[in-house]
């Protein structure tokens, strides 16, 4: 545990205070120099902005759509059990395969998305969706949603099914309609699952490297740059590991801050 987690962690933070470079000999301690450089690095701030936006929007939408999906799956409809068994496919497919798939679909003229748009009369929207700085980040968000919403759906469904039927019956007799039963019984009943899912997905999404790197590499022109991808470029394209480590350290601090605040809020709600 210590070797695999603690050592890389501490070593990474230590390097952030050095000027370590893959192509240069000699490593010196440089104090806060890397961090000061961060503050005036425009791309760092753009990447940070994208990371936060991506995480907030994606996790929120995943929660919302996951909830709707879970509610839909809890209805007794023909074919539902078959549907439930195939729905996790999007989460199971390797990320690289997903990206390739969506890259093809995003192609101008011949991509599936543009073909459909043309069919329904929106031919003017035809473009390479991952090459357009205005929509590329949004497209990446869709990739996240496509992959993770079924996971949310299945998790929420499991949590919903653990709620005793008698609560709903008591509420029905008390006069609560469908929406109120959902609000007063279902949502509080799945609260713990929501906390778990949101916590892990904030961490996963903020740290997510593969979708962005494989789809756009951070482009076009930094339009989809996120912190993990920027760190990668600093370390493996520019070979400035020290600087890369400092960005990584900032990411660590941000996530720890989130974690602490989030836990405090959910504990407080639990007690009240």
Taking the least distance from each CB to other proteins, the nearer of 36 and 170 is 170
Nearest C-alpha neighbor of 105 from the set 129, 88, 85, 125: 129
CA distance 142 to 178: 30
Q: Out of 13, 52, 95, 176, which residue is the one contacting other proteins (CB under 8 A)?
A: 176
Q: Out of 79, 166, 178, 179, which residue is the one contacting other proteins (CB under 8 A)?
A: 166
CA distance 187 to 99: 33
Taking the least distance from each CB to other proteins, the nearer of 45 and 183 is 183
Q: Does 175 bind other proteins (CB under 8 A)?
A: yes
Q: Does 265 bind other proteins (CB under 8 A)?
A: no
Taking the least distance from each CB to other proteins, the nearer of 31 and 188 is 188
Three-class SS of residue 18? strand
Q: Does 251 bind other proteins (CB under 8 A)?
A: no
How far apart are CB 170 and other proteins at their closest, in Å? 4
How far apart are CB 184 and other proteins at their closest, in Å? 7
Q: Does 192 bind other proteins (CB under 8 A)?
A: no
CA distances from 197 to 43, 140, 189, 191, 225 (A): 30, 20, 14, 10, 25
How far apart are CB 166 and other proteins at their closest, in Å? 4
Q: Out of 54, 185, 226, 250, which residue is the one contacting other proteins (CB under 8 A)?
A: 185
β-pair partners for 239 = none
How far apart are CB 256 and other proteins at their closest, in Å? 29
Q: Does 184 bind other proteins (CB under 8 A)?
A: yes
End-to-end CA distance of the chain: 36
Segment interacting with other proteins, rule: CB under 8 A, options 80-88, 106-114, 119-127, 174-182: 174-182
Cis bond upstream, residue 190 (ω within 30)? no
Taking the least distance from each CB to other proteins, the nearer of 176 and 254 is 176
> Helix, strand, coil proportions of the chain in percent (round to 5)?
75, 0, 25
Exposed / middle / buried, residue 13 (Cβ in 10 Å: 0-12, 13-18, 19+): middle
CA distance 154 to 7: 36
Site for other proteins, rule CB under 8 A: 164, 166-167, 169-177, 180, 184-185, 188-189, 191
């Amino acid at each position: 545990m210590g070797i695999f987690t603690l050592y890389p962690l501490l070593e990474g933070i230590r390097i952030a205070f050095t000027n370590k470079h893959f192509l240069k000999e000699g490593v010196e301690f440089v104090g806060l120099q890397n961090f000061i450089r961060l503050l005036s690095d425009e791309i760092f701030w753009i990447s940070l902005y994208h990371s936060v936006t991506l995480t907030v929007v994606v996790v929120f939408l995943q929660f919302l759509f996951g909830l709707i999906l879970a509610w839909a799956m809890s209805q007794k409809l023909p074919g539902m059990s078959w549907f439930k068994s195939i729905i996790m496919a999007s989460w199971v497919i390797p990320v690289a395969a997903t990206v390739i798939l969506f890259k093809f679909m995003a192609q101008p003229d011949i991509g599936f998305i543009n073909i459909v748009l043309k069919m329904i009369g929106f031919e003017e929207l035809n473009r390479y969706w991952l090459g357009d700085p205005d929509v590329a980040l949004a497209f990446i968000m869709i990739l996240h949603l496509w992959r993770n919403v079924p996971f949310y759906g299945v998790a929420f469904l499991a949590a919903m099914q653990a709620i005793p039927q008698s609560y709903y019956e008591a509420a029905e007799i008390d006069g609560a309609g469908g929406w109120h039963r959902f609000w007063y019984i279902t949502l509080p009943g799945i609260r713990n699952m929501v906390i778990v899912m949101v916590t892990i997905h904030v961490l996963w999404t903020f740290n997510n490297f593969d979708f962005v790197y494989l789809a756009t590499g951070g482009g076009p022109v930094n339009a989809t740059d996120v912190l993990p991808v920027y760190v990668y470029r600093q370390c493996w394209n520019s070979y400035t590991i020290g600087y890369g480590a400092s960005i990584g350290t900032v990411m660590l601090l941000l996530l720890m801050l989130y974690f602490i605040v989030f836990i405090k809020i959910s504990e407080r709600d639990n007690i009240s």
